[in-house]
Homo-oligomer: A and B are copies of this chain.
Amino acid sequence: MEIKVVKRIMEANEQHAEVVRRRLRESGVVALNLISAPGSGKTSLIEAAIRELKGRVRIGVIEGDPDTTRDAERIARLDVPVVQINTEGGCHLEATMVLRALEEIEVDNLQLLFIENVGNLVCPVVFDLGETYRVAVVSAAEGHDKPAKYPALFRTAQVTVLNKIDLMPYLDFDEEQFTADVRRLNPEIPILRVSCRTGEGVSEWTEWLLQRL
């Protein structure tokens, strides 16, 4: 019975994801589903992109969080439309939540939509949100073994962002191993090296975004 219920949840999610995908296509919006562990810097990556692209690209943000509205408040300060999805303890976003948020955020007015998933390397990976691209984010401080330990994310993403590279000198991070593990799972995937703190690599991140539009 458990298995049947899980199957039904996943099937319902697939259907909702298709509706999201169609809705985005009709509005001509590119949507990014950012997935990472807690504290990898997803919100900072979104903030950095908004700062660089504001005025040039119409950006909106959907923030998924298990409890608080902190990240949504950070984004709102940058004066772009933002909708908070509170998952009430839930460990991932689902397509039906995004579908409701699309109406609130007036998706027809946007070109680029960031969807910040709940910080988690396992659960969000199996839920298609109807996004155009999936972005895997890792902080260098988490260690180079994350792709090998959480392969499903890196296999299904279209880009990997290695964030907080300013910490590299103070870590035992084997970047060669990290890159080899990512490439083994996903041979063609771009790996962007970024530090939102120093600004290094931010222009490569925004360049990658602009090329998707």
A→B interface (CB under 8 Å): 1-2, 5, 9, 37-40, 65-68, 70, 89-91, 118-123, 126, 139, 141-143, 145-146, 148-152, 164, 166-167, 170-172, 197
Assembled-state Cα–Cα distance A39/B167 (Å): 14
Q: Which 6 A-B pairs have the closest CB atoms?
A: A39-B142, A141-B141, A91-B122, A37-B38, A37-B37, A39-B143
Nearest Cβ on chain B to A175's Cβ, whole angstroms: 15
One of B2, B149, B152, B170 near A65 (C-beta < 8 A): B149
- Is B91 touching A146 in the complex (CB atoms < 8 A)? no
For A126, list chain B residues within 8 Å (CB): 89
Nearest Cβ on chain B to A43's Cβ, whole angstroms: 9
Nearest Cβ on chain B to A153's Cβ, whole angstroms: 10
One of B5, B70, B120 near A1 (C-beta < 8 A): B5
14 new A-B contacts at CB < 8 Å, known A120-B120, A167-B170: A37-B38, A37-B119, A38-B146, A39-B139, A39-B142, A68-B148, A68-B149, A70-B145, A89-B126, A89-B152, A91-B120, A118-B122, A119-B121, A141-B167
- Is A149 touching B67 in the complex (CB atoms < 8 A)? yes
Nearest Cβ on chain B to A141's Cβ, whole angstroms: 3
- Interface residues of A: mostly helix, strand, loop or mixed? loop
Residue of B nearest to A140 (CB): B141
- Is A70 touching B149 in the complex (CB atoms < 8 A)? yes
For A170, list chain B residues within 8 Å (CB): 166-167, 170
- Is B9 touching A66 in the complex (CB atoms < 8 A)? no
One of B39, B90, B91, B150 near A141 (C-beta < 8 A): B39
Assembled-state Cα–Cα distance A141/B67 (Å): 21
Residue of B nearest to A144 (CB): B39
Assembled-state Cα–Cα distance A60/B172 (Å): 26
Name, among A2, A65, A67, A149, the residue most crowded by chain B CB atoms within 10 Å (CB to CB): A149
Nearest Cβ on chain B to A179's Cβ, whole angstroms: 17
Assembled-state Cα–Cα distance A45/B61 (Å): 37
